[in-house]
Amino acid sequence: MEVETHMSFRTAEKISILVVNDDATYLPVVAGLLKKCNYQVVTVKYPIDALSKLKIKGDSFDLVVTDVHKSDMNGFELQQVITQAFEIPVLSMSADDKEGTILKGLKGVSVDDQRDQGLCTALQVKRGKKPVHEKSAMKLGKQGKDNSVNFVLPTKSQIIWTEPLHNTFLEAIRNIGFDKAVPKKIHEHMKVPGLTRENVASHWQKYRIYLRRVTDASSSIQVPDINLASRANQSTIASGTLGKHRQFHQENFGVQSSVPSLLIHTTGSRTSGLQHLKNKGKEVDVVLDPVRNFSVFHNVSAMQGSQGIGDLSASSMNQRNDQPHQQNNEDEAHVNFDGGFNQDMEKENYLQ
């Protein structure tokens, strides 16, 4: 499906692109790739040069590709000038995904819209919703069945909430106090390089959802008449539950030191690693479950003399919540691991 057919048409007028980038190593790469895709490419180092080039060559460019840099005139400024003066779409790129550089420049325009507009206008492609990522280098112009051309950029990495990472998350929450915990604070406390507030927020949401699920389940099983406990006060989890999970946790993750880094990023394709593990069955879900440790509630649960929840075992934990009632389940709560994480996935590690 990824055939180079995209250049079989459009021989008459090549699309011409002006590439602005002062990075000596990056510029040739971008230019080369674009040329390979049969675009006519002109390169300049600085925005100033770009402007003069545009003045000379007028509207002969179909698209300007800039880097978002912090030189005299940055990519965004250039973008504005060009867009206004020449009415040529500008595609800004950056390898800098920190500090919201890109979003700042886009002012309310979602990244998708922006790039869709830019690409569509410039290349007159059909609206193929191929995600084009704003971060990192551009990869390759690839086809669509419809002959549309899309830029396919490396998809942004996802972080994986490994055991150690999740633990620092939990500890941050404990330090802050559960009810005062918000993404920003948690994030600050964690102090994990490369981890963003958004990462934390997302995980926090999942975590709370999970917690809700568990507390609801346990209250309905345990004391049906006092579900107000878990309802009103989220910080109530039976010690039995805690114990179970603790135990579970230790058995299976006992020596987690095999994972040297706290933060693991994966890149786009999910064929390996995560997916792979997932496909191996439910026990894997347990491995990947974001909440394997209830230490947050340790103190609270200590004074909760509850018992009988007994069976929030591993298997029930990773199963859905739809009607635990009268769950006789012949499926025994078996958990067998073939030994921790086997990360054959592509990843970047951030030591810390």
Stretch that binds DNA, among 50-58, 201-209, 235-243, 246-254 (CB under 7 A): 201-209
First to last CA, the chain: 41
Strand, coil or helix: 239: helix
Distance CA 277, CA 255 (A): 19
- For 205, phi then psi, to 5°, come to -65, -50
In the complex with DNA, which residue's Cβ is closer, 320 or 325?
320
| Count of residues that bind DNA according to CB under 7 A | 31
Q: Binding of DNA at residue 16 (CB under 7 A)?
A: no
Beta bridge partners of 41: 17
Stretch that binds DNA, among 25-33, 138-146, 199-207, 242-250 (CB under 7 A): 199-207
Stretch that binds DNA, among 37-45, 79-87, 159-167, 221-229 (CB under 7 A): 159-167
Stretch that binds DNA, among 9-17, 60-68, 155-163, 223-231 (CB under 7 A): 155-163
Distance CA 78, CA 84 (A): 10
- Of positions 14, 35, 126, 206, contacts DNA by CB under 7 A: 206
Buried-state track 185-224, b at ≥16 Cβ within 10 A, e below 16: bbbebbebebbeeebbeebbeebeeebeebbebbbebbbe
Query: Measured from the CB of residue 41, what is the shortest distance to DNA in angstroms?
Result: 28
- Of positions 5, 60, 80, 110, contacts DNA by CB under 7 A: 110
Amino acid identity of 290?
A: P
In the complex with DNA, which residue's Cβ is closer, 28 or 290?
290
- Of positions 122, 160, 211, 296, contacts DNA by CB under 7 A: 160
- Between residue 282 and residue 301, which ones bind DNA under the rule CB under 7 A? 285, 288-290
- Of positions 40, 83, 202, 272, contacts DNA by CB under 7 A: 202
- Of positions 14, 126, 208, 246, contacts DNA by CB under 7 A: 208
Amino acid identity of 110?
A: S
CA torsion through residues 160, 162, 164, 168, sign: positive
Q: Binding of DNA at residue 205 (CB under 7 A)?
A: yes
Beta bridge partners of 51: none
Query: Measured from the CB of residue 206, what is the shortest distance to DNA in angstroms?
Result: 6
Distance CA 336, CA 326 (A): 25
Q: Binding of DNA at residue 95 (CB under 7 A)?
A: no
Query: Measured from the CB of residue 218, what is the shortest distance to DNA in angstroms?
Result: 18
Query: Measured from the CB of residue 263, what is the shortest distance to DNA in angstroms?
Result: 10
- Of positions 320, 326, 330, 332, contacts DNA by CB under 7 A: 320
- Of positions 33, 201, 229, 300, contacts DNA by CB under 7 A: 201
Distance CA 136, CA 100 (A): 14
Distance CA 184, CA 195 (A): 12
In the complex with DNA, which residue's Cβ is closer, 185 or 246?
185
Q: Binding of DNA at residue 156 (CB under 7 A)?
A: yes
- Give the C-alpha distances (Å, rounded to integers) separating 41 from 52, 74, 115, 204: 16, 21, 19, 46
Nearest Cα neighbor of 186 from 167, 205, 163, 169 is: 169
> How many residues would you count in the chain?
352
Binding string to DNA for residues 174 to 193, with x set by CB under 7 A, is what? Answer: --------xxxx--------
Nearest Cα neighbor of 314 from 285, 350, 339 is: 285
In the complex with DNA, which residue's Cβ is closer, 41 or 192?
192
- Give the C-alpha distances (Å, rounded to integers) separating 40 from 29, 31, 91, 161, 346: 14, 9, 16, 44, 34
The token duo for 174 is: 């404990």
In the complex with DNA, which residue's Cβ is closer, 161 or 294?
161
Q: Which residues bind DNA (CB under 7 A)?
A: 110-112, 129, 131, 156, 158-161, 182-185, 197-199, 201-206, 208, 274, 278, 285, 288-290, 320
